[in-house]
């Protein structure tokens, strides 16, 4: 969805231009004083790259916190403007008998709403069908990332109003949806495809490709059971601190502790991949780890992070080049005092 918001200067130019164009019709409209209001159209108020008002185009769908022009007649005595029963502020200086320029309130509801615009005047009420759309869908992640055909998958994000899910070019069957979660059935032959969610406001694609997870609430089939800190202390599955799926890995670190993801039994071919991804955070204000593969510590990549989630993509070129296969990934605390608690999430591969 392209935003219709415009700058203060652009709004001023729009108002001056539009009100001057309507000055003549205002004189003519005096004969309509006392007539009930009529809404003939609603137009998005936009400006071009130079800040000049563009031609008005009628629309029947709008977005909160954007300006619109209500056209019709009988607006001189306007008292209230409602979008989906939400009282919307208007400036009386921007009202003529034929137009109302209004900014839709940012808190206007869009789900389970009346889809109505109402203009209330001293002489009556005009009702007009007008849909308030949510922002474009936001897809943060889905789980399980390595889902097989027929498996139920959950998408996490926001603004999922009547969503359509596509995997690659295949439409998926949606089982259920809320504004923040969607459950769908994974279609066949979807490995390395991307999950896309579409609503009336636009489309958004998950950052992870299907079949690329190393750990996404559970270890991939090629990861050994004993993944964790190499001091044997193990790790905790944390369901309250996460950035993807339903949980993250929580591990206590002493100075120079390493967290190993072993794949000795089933080394993974790097042929489909260009690198790895990981999200991490600390309980301290700042932290640093070195990530390396196949024991090649000297070619590791240093990653700095904070107490907020940091998501990084590390090309194999930054890890000494792509080996034919991977047998381990190590996340080693680097030059820290120790005593830290680290969280890892969304560990996986990046496709070529």
The C-alpha atoms of residue 87 and residue 81 are separated, in whole angstroms, by: 6
Under 8 Å between Cβ of 106 and 62: no
Q: Is the peptide bond before 144 cis (omega within 30 degrees of 0)?
A: yes
For residues 224-245, one letter each, b for 16 or more C-beta atoms within 10 angstroms of the residue's C-beta and e for the rest, the string is eeebbbeeeeebeebeeebbbb
- The residue among 126, 203, 208 whose CA lies nearest residue 161 is 203
Please state the pTM of the whole predicted model. Answer: 0.84
The backbone torsions φ and ψ at residue 63, rounded to the nearest 5 degrees and listed phi first, read: -125, 140
The C-alpha atoms of residue 208 and residue 246 are separated, in whole angstroms, by: 15
% of the chain with per-residue pLDDT over 90: 75
pLDDT computed for residue 20 by the predictor:
52
pLDDT computed for residue 335 by the predictor:
58
pLDDT computed for residue 4 by the predictor:
45
**Which pLDDT band holds residue 22 (cuts at 50, 70, 90)?**
low
Chain mean pLDDT for the chain:
89
Distances from the Cα of 279 to the Cα of 22, 40, 50, angstroms: 56, 52, 41
Distances from the Cα of 132 to the Cα of 5, 40, 214, 313, angstroms: 15, 18, 40, 37
Q: What is the pLDDT of residues 63-94, one digit of tens each?
A: 999 999 999 999 999 999 999 999 999 999 99
Both tokens assigned to 292 = 């390396």
User: Span 289-302, mean pLDDT?
Assistant: 93
Residue of higher predicted confidence among 154 and 232: 154
Q: Alpha carbon 197 to chain centroid distance? A: 10
Map residue 316 onto helix, strand or coil: helix
pLDDT computed for residue 56 by the predictor:
84
- The residue among 91, 92, 89, 83 whose CA lies nearest residue 61 is 83
pLDDT value at 337 more than 80: no
Domains defined along the chain, listed by start: 8-133 (2.60.40.10), 138-209 (2.60.40.10), 213-351 (2.60.120.430)
341 - beta bridge partners?
Answer: 252
**Which pLDDT band holds residue 226 (cuts at 50, 70, 90)?**
confident
Q: Do the strands 248-253 and 236-238 form a parallel or antiparallel pair, or are they unpaired?
A: antiparallel
């Amino acid at each position: 969805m392209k935003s219709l918001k415009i700058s203060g200067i652009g709004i001023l130019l729009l108002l001056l231009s539009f009100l001057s164009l309507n000055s003549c019709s205002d004189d003519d409209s005096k004969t309509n004083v006392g007539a009930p209001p009529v809404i003939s159209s609603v137009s998005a108020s936009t400006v071009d790259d130079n800040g000049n008002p563009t031609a008005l185009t009628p629309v029947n769908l709008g977005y909160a916190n954007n300006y619109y022009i209500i056209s019709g007649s009988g607006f001189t005595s306007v008292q209230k403007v409602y979008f989906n029963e939400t009282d919307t502020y208007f400036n009386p200086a921007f009202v003529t008998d034929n137009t109302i320029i209004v900014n839709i309130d940012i808190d206007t509801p869009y789900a389970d709403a009346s889809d109505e615009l109402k203009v209330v005047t001293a002489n009556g009420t005009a009702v007009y069908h007008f849909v308030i759309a949510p922002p474009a869908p936001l897809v943060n992640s889905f789980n399980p990332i390595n889902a097989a055909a027929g498996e139920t998958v959950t998408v996490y994000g926001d603004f999922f109003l009547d969503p359509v899910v596509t995997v690659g070019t295949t439409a998926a069957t949606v089982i259920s949806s809320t504004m923040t979660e969607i459950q769908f059935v994974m279609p066949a032959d979807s490995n390395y495809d991307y999950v896309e969610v579409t609503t009336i406001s636009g489309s958004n694609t998950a950052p992870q490709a299907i079949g690329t997870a190393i750990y996404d609430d559970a270890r991939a089939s090629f990861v050994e059971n004993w993944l964790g800190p190499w001091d044997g202390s193990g790790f905790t599955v944390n369901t309250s601190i996460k950035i993807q799926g339903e949980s993250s890995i929580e591990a206590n670190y002493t100075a120079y502790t390493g967290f190993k993801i072993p794949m000795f039994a089933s080394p993974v071919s790097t042929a489909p991949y260009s690198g790895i991804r990981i999200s991490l955070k600390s309980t301290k204000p700042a932290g640093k780890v070195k990530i390396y593969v196949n024991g090649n510590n000297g070619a590791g990549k240093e990653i700095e992070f904070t107490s907020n989630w940091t998501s990084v993509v590390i090309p194999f070129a930054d890890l000494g080049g792509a080996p034919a296969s991977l047998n381990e990934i190590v996340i080693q605390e680097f030059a820290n005092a120790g005593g830290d608690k680290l969280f890892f999430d969304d560990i996986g591969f990046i496709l070529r």
